[in-house]
């Protein structure tokens, strides 16, 4: 998810401030990221995660809530959808397990009519665009999609849920590494400047 809104501005910044620095970016997710950091397969990771073990440090990158993303030409959801209206729709979800269950099912116990499950957030905008499918995504990601596809709309997610977000993780062994600290500080600063979705559109 982070590469959709974080990687490009980070590379622009580091191109000015550290033009000889090179990156290898690889997908990670909360089920495998701790092992990847512990074995130094990756030095830094931006992901959604709960508790982390000792030896892994973290810094918050953004905090927000879920919103519903949809194409108003094909979906009648309204500016403030009810639970009933939300559950009546067909959905596209992101599932890190490769099944038909997403965060809404796993954490909130809500069963949706899932028609399509994808492994990452990268294709969500294209899938929703021109289709009757609703996506439930973090507001920062919805804001990115709406800048690229302003004819789409977002609306509040109709179920109560705690705020969540993306964290930057790194091994404690690299906490004092100057290069890693420089990149971490740049990532945190870039994340602060990413505009979030201020209201449902």
Dump pLDDT digits (tens) for 8-57.
889 999 999 999 999 898 877 777 889 999 999 999 999 877 788 999 99
Residues ≥6 apart with Cβ < 8 Å to 82: 158
Q: Specify whether the CB–CB gap between 104 and 163 falls below 8 A.
A: no
Please state, in angstroms and rounded to a whole number, the distance separating the CA atoms of residues 197 and 195.
7
Asked if pLDDT for residue 198 goes beyond 60, the answer is no
**pLDDT value at position 196?**
55
Q: What pLDDT score does 201 carry?
A: 38
- pTM of the predicted protein model: 0.77
Q: Are strands 56-64 and 45-47 parallel, antiparallel or unpaired?
A: unpaired
pLDDT of 68 reads 97
Q: How would residue 141 be classed by pLDDT, with cut points 50, 70 and 90? A: confident
């Amino acid at each position: 998810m982070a590469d959709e809104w974080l990687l490009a501005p980070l590379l622009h910044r580091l191109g000015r401030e550290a033009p000889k620095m090179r990156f290898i970016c690889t997908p990670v997710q909360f089920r495998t990221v701790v092992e990847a950091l512990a074995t130094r397969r990756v030095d830094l990771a931006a992901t959604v995660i709960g508790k982390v073990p000792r030896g892994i440090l973290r810094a918050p990158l953004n905090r927000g809530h879920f919103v519903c993303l949809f194409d108003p030409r094909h979906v009648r959801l309204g500016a403030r959808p009810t639970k009933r209206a939300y559950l009546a729709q067909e959905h596209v979800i992101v599932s890190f397990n490769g099944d038909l269950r997403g965060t809404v099912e796993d954490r909130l116990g809500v069963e949706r009519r899932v028609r399509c499950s994808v492994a990452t957030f990268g294709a969500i905008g294209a899938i929703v665009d021109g289709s009757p499918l609703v996506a439930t995504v973090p507001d920062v990601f919805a804001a990115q999609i709406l800048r690229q596809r302003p004819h789409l709309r977002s609306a509040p997610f109709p179920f109560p849920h705690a705020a969540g977000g993306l964290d930057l993780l790194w091994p404690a062994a690299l906490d004092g590494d100057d290069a890693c600290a420089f990149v971490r500080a740049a990532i945190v600063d870039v994340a602060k400047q990413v505009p979030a979705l201020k209201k449902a559109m």
